């Protein structure tokens, strides 16, 4: 039986007297792929942000690798996540942006991270000297995946990664997720695309109105 790496216990989040997360309970086992489905505003992204420590639950516990988030530690460690464009410098190349994140997060200029390899892995040309602001939405999406994969984190969160990807981009994403699973990663993905989630997930959580309304083991 694999280990639990993320656990949410009776997590609630209130905003303006409204429950936007309502008694969310879930367990994430290592080296599995979890799909999060549901309409906009169902609570998928908010659940991700709660796991990362970017939102403090009103009640309940969020435990990542044995540490209580926002209690023992402020943010979850060892989780890579993709948020399109956030904090990326538009006037720099993809390589420059990834190097900057790598140096600042590791605080070690000798950190051995093969940025070129990583860019190739997500399907971007490592020799492309274009500034990120000139990238298409699909390329920006791939760059955000590369940002998530920096630091070789054990747990990965991809929020709506199929957005802005064409059919070949989606095929690439399916192959990448399968490969990451083979490498022992635990992956959490949200998407509106049910066939895509069915294709990549071991387990799907169905969200609606801030709570889990169903689960599907594949």
Partner 1 sequence: MTQLHYNLLLKRNRVLYWEQIRIKFIIVTLVYVMLLLQGRHQQQFYGVFYGVLQAPNDFVMPIQWFFIMLLPVAVIGDSFNQLVKIGYPLLNRVGLGTYILSIFQIMSEMLFLFWLLWILIPGNNQYYLFSVILFLNSSLGIFIFSLISLFLPPVIAYFIAILLAMGTIANNKLPILSQFMLSRFDSNLMINLFNTIILILIVIILFSCIRYIEFTQIRK
Instruction: Using the CB atoms, write b or e for 67-80: b if 16+ within 10 Å.
Output: eebbeeeeebeebb
Q: Which residue from 58, 13, 1, 72 is spatially nearest to 209, judged by alpha carbons?
A: 13
Q: How far apart are CA 83 and CA 162, in angstroms?
A: 12
Of 152, 172, 67, nearest to 105 by C-alpha is: 152
3-state secondary structure of 130: coil
Q: How many residues make contact with partner 1 (CB under 8 A)? A: 28
The only residue of 4, 68, 89, 111 in contact with partner 1, by rule CB under 8 A? 89
Q: How far is the CB of 216 from partner 1 (least distance, A)?
A: 28
Q: What region, left, alpha or beta, does residue 98 occupy, with left being phi > 0 and alpha being psi -120 to 50 degrees?
A: alpha
**Which of these segments, 45-53, 110-118, 179-187, 207-215, binds partner 1 (CB under 8 A)?**
45-53
* φ, ψ of residue 190 in degrees (nearest 5): -110, 145
Q: Compose the 134-173 pattern: x for residues touching partner 1 by CB under 8 A, - for all others.
A: -------------x--------------------------
Among 1, 17, 40, 107, binds partner 1 (CB under 8 A): 107
- Of residues 107 and 117, the one with the C-beta less far from partner 1: 107
> Does residue number 56 form part of the binding site for partner 1 (CB under 8 A)?
yes
DSSP letter at 125 equals -
What dihedral angle (degrees, nearest 10) is formed by the CA atoms of 31, 36, 37, 39?
Answer: -160
Among 24, 52, 64, 139, contact with partner 1 (rule: CB under 8 A): 52
Residue 86 makes contact with partner 1 by CB under 8 A: yes
Q: Which two three-digit tokens encode residue 16?
A: 């303006």
Q: How far is the CB of 167 from partner 1 (least distance, A)?
A: 29
Sole binder of partner 1 in the list 39, 72, 91, 174 (CB under 8 A): 91
Q: Does 83 bind partner 1 (CB under 8 A)?
A: yes
Q: Select from 2-10, 25-33, 80-88, 207-215 the region that touches partner 1 (CB under 8 A).
A: 80-88
**What is the DSSP pairing of strand 155-159 with strand 4-15?**
unpaired
Among 105, 116, 168, 198, contact with partner 1 (rule: CB under 8 A): 105
Residues in contact with partner 1 by CB under 8 A are 15, 20, 46, 49, 52-56, 74-75, 77, 81, 83, 86-87, 89-91, 100-101, 103-107, 109, 147
């Amino acid at each position: 039986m694999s280990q639990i790496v993320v656990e949410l216990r009776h997590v609630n989040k209130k905003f303006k007297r409204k429950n936007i997360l309502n008694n969310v309970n879930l367990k994430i086992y290592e080296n599995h792929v979890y799909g999060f489905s549901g309409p906009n505003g169902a609570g998928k992204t908010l659940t991700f942000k709660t796991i990362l420590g970017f939102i403090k639950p009103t009640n309940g516990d969020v435990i990542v690798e044995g540490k209580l988030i926002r209690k023992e530690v402020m943010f979850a460690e060892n989780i890579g996540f993709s948020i399109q464009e956030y904090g990326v410098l538009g006037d720099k190349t993809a390589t420059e942006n990834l190097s900057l994140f790598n140096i600042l997060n590791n605080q070690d200029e000798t950190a051995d991270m093969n940025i070129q390899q990583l860019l190739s892995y997500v399907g971007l040309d490592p020799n492309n000297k274009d500034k990120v602001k000139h990238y298409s939405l699909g390329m920006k999406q791939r760059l955000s995946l590369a940002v998530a994969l920096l630091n070789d984190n054990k747990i990965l969160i991809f929020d709506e990664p199929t957005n802005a990807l064409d059919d070949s981009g989606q095929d690439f994403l399916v192959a990448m997720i399968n490969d990451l699973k083979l490498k022992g990663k635990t992956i959490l993905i949200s998407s509106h695309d049910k066939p895509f989630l069915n294709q990549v997930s071991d387990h799907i959580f169905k969200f609606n109105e801030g709570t889990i309304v169903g689960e599907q083991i594949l």
